[in-house]
Amino acid sequence: MVADHADHVDELLGAHFAGALDPVESDAVHRHLEICAGCRDSADEVIEVLAALALIE
């Protein structure tokens, strides 16, 4: 199964939660997460990774 790369935001999630996206991109990510369970799962993983990194630093 091949995901639609134009729509999914999983590659942007790291930058999104790190606050590195510009407001337009960040808003697009936020709206996509509201409609896409797959990317919400990815978001949960990204949040866990960022939390783990924050503990290390």
Q: Which stretches of the chain bind Zn ion, using CB under 5 A?
A: 8, 36, 38-39
Nearest distance in Å: CB 24, Zn ion: 18
Is residue 11 within 8 A of residue 46, CB to CB? The reply is no
Residue 19's region, left for phi above 0, alpha for psi from -120 to 50, else beta, is left
Which of residues 30 and 53 has its CB atom nearest to Zn ion in the complex? 30
State the nearest-atom distance from the C-beta of 28 to Zn ion, in Å. Answer: 11
Helical ranges in 1-36 per DSSP H? 13-17, 23-35
What is the nearest approach in angstroms of Zn ion to the Cβ of residue 39? Answer: 3
